[in-house]
């Protein structure tokens, strides 16, 4: 029984990866850079996006694909910044899944003006397990972990931390009020993803937002350079 379950999961991931490659081909056709942004619920993904997109990103045209189980609260907040936003709810059309997969993303692409976007940020459903398993055709992955979650998160959810190129450690303005050991967190982070880029940020105060914006610009720049090769 256990072996059968493993084969089913492998087949599902194989199918997902096939669609992810089709997404990637469409993104390349539009010379579009794509970031998959992940976190636990409430870590601050949307708030950090609001901070990053409050001013133009070095002339980049940015769009957002907002993933949630239900509702459009986060996409409404981002649409107020006058950037193209498409809402993708996993309930009921996709069974209320706790992640976005390549097929879900593909279904939502017609709602976005891809020819008019240079950088697409896919804000995944808040979850530290399932989103890490499903590639959607992205160029890069970033995740947000807040200091309110505990310093042992990298050891509990190693795949999520290991699969990302950037870890944003959010809500650092609260460090003085918490029993959060930042050095221990960074030690655990290096155990599961040695040397991964990390930024200490606060969506509330704006600390660390400038390098977060620069990182997003760098993803788009790398995509442009790759298109010229």
CATH no. for residue 27? 3.40.50.300
Q: Which of the four pLDDT bands, split at 50, 70 and 90, describes residue 8?
A: very low
pLDDT in tens, 70-123: 999 999 999 999 999 999 999 888 888 999 999 999 999 999 999 999 999 999
Q: What is the pLDDT of residue 202?
A: 98
> The domain containing residue 123 runs over which residues?
2-228
Instruction: Check: pTM over 0.75? Answer yes or no.
Output: yes
45-53 helix and 209-228 helix, angle to the nearest 10 degrees:
70
What local confidence, expressed as pLDDT, does residue 4 receive? 43
Structural tokens at position 170: 């959010």
135: left (phi over 0), alpha (psi -120 to 50) or beta: beta
Given a cut of 80, whether residue 199 has pLDDT beyond it is: yes
| pLDDT on residue 2 | 47
User: Hey, what are 119's tokens?
Assistant: 């950088």
Total structural domains in the chain? 1
**Which percentage of the chain shows pLDDT scores above 70?**
95
CB under 8 A, 24+ apart: contacts of 24-31: 24/137, 26/109, 26/114, 26/137, 27/114, 27/120, 27/137, 27/139, 28/227, 30/114, 30/115, 30/117, 31/118, 31/223, 31/224, 31/227
């Amino acid at each position: 029984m256990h072996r059968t379950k493993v084969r089913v999961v492998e087949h599902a991931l194989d199918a997902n990866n096939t669609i992810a490659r089709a997404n990637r081909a469409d993104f390349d056709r539009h010379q579009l850079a794509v970031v998959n942004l992940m976190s636990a619920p409430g870590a601050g993904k949307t708030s950090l996006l609001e901070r990053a997109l409050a001013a133009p990103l070095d002339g980049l045209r940015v769009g957002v694909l907002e993933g949630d189980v239900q509702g459009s609260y986060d996409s409404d907040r981002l649409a107020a910044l006058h950037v193209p936003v498409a809402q993708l709810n996993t309930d009921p059309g996709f069974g209320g899944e706790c992640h976005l997969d390549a097929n879900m993303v593909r279904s939502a692409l017609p709602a976005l003006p891809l020819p008019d976007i240079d950088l697409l940020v896919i804000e995944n459903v808040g979850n530290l397990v399932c989103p890490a398993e499903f590639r959607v055709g992205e160029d890069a992955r970033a995740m947000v972990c807040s200091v309110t979650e505990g310093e042992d998160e990298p050891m509990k959810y190693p795949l999520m931390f290991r699969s990302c190129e950037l870890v944003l450690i959010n809500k650092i303005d609260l460090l003085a009020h918490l029993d959060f050991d930042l050095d221990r967190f960074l030690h655990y982070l290096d155990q599961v993803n040695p040397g991964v880029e990390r930024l200490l940020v606060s969506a509330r105060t704006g600390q660390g937002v400038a390098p977060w914006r620069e990182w997003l610009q760098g993803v788009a720049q790398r995509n442009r350079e790759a298109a010229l090769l």
